[in-house]
Amino acid sequence: MRHYVTALIAICHREALRFFGQRARMIAALVRPLMWLFVFAAGFRAALGLSITPPYETYISYETYIVPGLCAMILLFNGMQSSLSLVMDREMGTMRLLLTAPLPRWWLLSCKLMAGAVISVLQAVVFLAICALYGIRFSPMGYVAALPAMFLCALMVGALGIALSSTIRSLENFAGVMNFVIFPMFFLSTALYPLWKMAEASELLWWICAINPFSHGVETIRFALYLKADPLDWAITVAAVVVFMALALWGYDPGKRTMGRKG
């Protein structure tokens, strides 16, 4: 058990050093959602005419509505960037050293996933603090309740990123695939507009947003900030974590690659 904990601490420490050593990455992670909040929110609010958002049963501003979605945006982008480092590590040979450690492969990849999730949640917390200074605040207990929701959402997008990284062999290809995944996943979700608004626009778009697991990750955060919970959102997000992580473990299975070469 001690070796498992040591591996977790070491991988988390490595990820923290890598993240805090890249100040541009930290700044970019906050500038992107802040631009959406301060610049684009006014136009979206005027276009949508948003004043009441069920099931919160209260009048809220559009800025307040999209803050949880922008938190999820931070988690999504950082989860993909964390997985990008896996491709880089594989090209440099570091990934091979990590996966040949005398510990189960599932634990090593889980440590990488948890380390990236912790970094993502820390960025989201800083974003919420900036929003509070701007005047967009939630109840103190809402912030506490949102932490596990954000961590679960970070695990989901991080597991998806790891699964994708197992299929990409070059850094350039992964950057293109990352954009192909991030933008549809973000815009076809409830991060920026309610699901019932999508139903007014198109039934097809409503179905796409409804089955998008990222939508349910966003809603877990949004409900938690209002001290509410939807069991279905939590269940779908947990199921997505399990499925994506299973795909990641299958993708990083050396036996699969050996059989592929033989074939």
The pair of three-digit structure tokens given for residue 24, joined into one six-digit string: 């541009």
Nearest Cα neighbor of 145 from 225, 70, 91, 75 is 225
237-260 burial, b if ≥16 CB within 10 A, otherwise e? beebbeebbebbbebbeeeeeeee
**pLDDT greater than 90 at residue 5:** no
Task: Give the mean model confidence (pLDDT) for residues 123-145.
Answer: 90
pLDDT digits (tens, 9 = 90+) for 169-227: 766 666 677 778 888 898 888 888 887 777 777 788 889 888 999 999 999 999 999 88
* Amino acid at the residue 201: A
* Band of residue 60 on the pLDDT scale cut at 50, 70, 90: low
**Mean pLDDT of the region 46-56:** 50
> Residue 152's CB: how many other CB atoms inside 10 A?
23
Grade residue 258 by pLDDT with cuts at 50, 70 and 90.
very low
Q: Exposed/middle/buried for 115, CB within 10 Å: 0-12, 13-18, 19+?
A: buried
Whether 29 and 122 have beta carbons less than 8 Å apart is answered as no
Closest CA to 88 of 30, 161, 160, 153: 161
**Residue 261's pLDDT is what?**
43
Residue length of the chain: 263
**Predicted confidence (pLDDT) per residue in 84-122, tens digit:** 777 776 666 666 666 666 777 788 888 888 888 998 899
**Cα separation, 157 vs 213, whole angstroms:** 9
The pLDDT of residue 96 is 66
- pLDDT in the model for residue 200: 74
In sequence order, the β-bridge partners of residue 52 are 59
Q: What is the pTM of this model?
A: 0.84
CB 123, CB 78: distance < 8 Å: yes
Decide which of 49 and 71 is more confident. Answer: 71
